[in-house]
Amino acid sequence: MHTRPALRTSAFKQVDVFTSEPMRGNPLAVVLDAEGLDDATMQRIAAWTNLSETTFVLPPTEPGADYRVRIFTPRSELAFAGHPSVGTAHALLEAERVAAKTELVQQCGAGLLPLRVEGDGATRRIFVRAPQATLHAPERALAAAAGDALAAPGTVALARAVDLGLRWLVCDLDRAERVRALRPDFDAVARLTRARDAVGLCVFGRGDERDAPCALVVRAFCPADGIAEDPVTGSANAAIAAHLWASGALAAIGHRYGASQGRELGRDGRVEVCVDEASGAVEIGGASLTCIDGTLALPIGTAP
């Protein structure tokens, strides 16, 4: 007789992030009781959920932190990511695992990151302060290579690498219609991002009246990490905002603006971006809602 393996369980949520309408944002799997899971098991679960990220909530080990989170893509662990930070805070507040207050502190691979909570319930919006960005100089060679990989040679006005706990290749395409029309060569994008040790390549363009009230249109491609196109990406939007601040381009957009992402995938995400005018510190955030709320069964003692 075949016997079922022993199981342990965890409270589990699947949260749609950067949207107030179900199935229009970026889904995130949240494992709320991750104590006792080793690295290999976390990675195995993240590969199984097959979402762009899965988070694992643990007790904090640093003074001042409200909770600790580990963030995994289907293939690797990240020190920081935006939509997992926002979505995990939403899940914890909804489950009453953390106190309902206007400021939280998340412990993650990138250190202690402050989060700000506006509103409550269905109107709640959560903002995370991204790690301080390191901006590399713009490169003509990178712009040319990115244009080729995007199957749109000559369209990338500027390209540079931006590090904020993970590295993005940020590409300015100037106009939103160029962004929306892209049909990238994903194999070429994967080769370029691997060569540059980047998690992905993100592109942006200025919106017009069709994109209102959003000032920017954004897309993010991460095929080397098993994600051809990410629906709505907090860290990419933070990298773009850091670039715009450093290059003096925020005056025409504003230091608090909205970015549209995901329509090409049948989504309609909105990322709210706030940039401190003096320091360049970036907050990204928005609405979230829970689409799946239940219990995750985890086999005990099975090899990955």
> Do 170 and 69 fall into the same domain?
no
Contact 145, 154 (CB under 8 A): no
Confidence of residue 30 (pLDDT cuts 50, 70, 90): very high
Per-residue pLDDT of 177-199, as tens digits, reads 999 999 999 999 999 999 999 99
Q: What is the pLDDT of residue 209?
A: 85
Check whether residue 67 and residue 142 sit in a common domain. no
Asked if residue 75 and residue 141 are part of one domain, the reply reads no
Same domain, 267 and 200: yes
Residue 2 falls inside a structural domain:
no
17: CATH: 3.10.310.10
Active site residues: 53
Residue 75 lies in a domain: yes
Q: Would the pLDDT of 145 be above 90?
A: yes
CA count, 13 A, side-chain hemisphere, 174: 7
In the prediction, which pLDDT does 157 show?
96
Is 153 found in the same domain as 105?
no
Is 1 within the bounds of a domain? no
**Same domain assignment for residues 269 and 138:** yes
CA pair distance 13, 91, nearest whole angstrom: 7
The two beta strands, 269-275 and 256-261, are antiparallel
Structure tokens at 185: 């060569």
What is the spatial distance between Cα 228 and Cα 207, in angstroms, rounded to a whole number?
A: 23
Same domain, residue pair 12 and 120: yes
Local structure of residue 302 (DSSP, 8 states): -
Whether 47 and 111 map to the same domain: the answer is yes
Residues 11 and 121 in one domain: yes
* pLDDT tens digits along 230-259: 999 999 999 999 999 999 999 999 999 999
What pLDDT band is residue 303 in, cutting at 50, 70 and 90? very low
**What are the tens digits of pLDDT across the range 61-114?**
999 999 999 999 999 999 999 999 999 999 999 999 999 999 999 999 999 999
Spatial distance between the Cα atoms of 32 and 235, rounded to a whole number of angstroms: 22
Beta pairing class for 26-31 and 54-58? parallel
Alpha carbon distance 62, 114 (integer Å): 13
Q: Which domain holds residue 26?
A: 7-130+288-299
Establish if 87 belongs to a structural domain. Answer: yes
CA dist list (Å): 163 to 27, 236, 242, 261: 24, 10, 10, 21
pLDDT level of residue 299 (50, 70, 90 thresholds): confident
Closest CA to 219 of 179, 253, 258: 179
Q: What six digits make up the tokens of 175?
A: 């106009």
| Beta bridge partner(s), residue 71 | 55, 78
Q: Are residues 117 and 180 in the same domain?
A: no
The CA distance from 291 to 29, in Å, is: 10
Q: What is the mean pLDDT of the chain?
A: 95
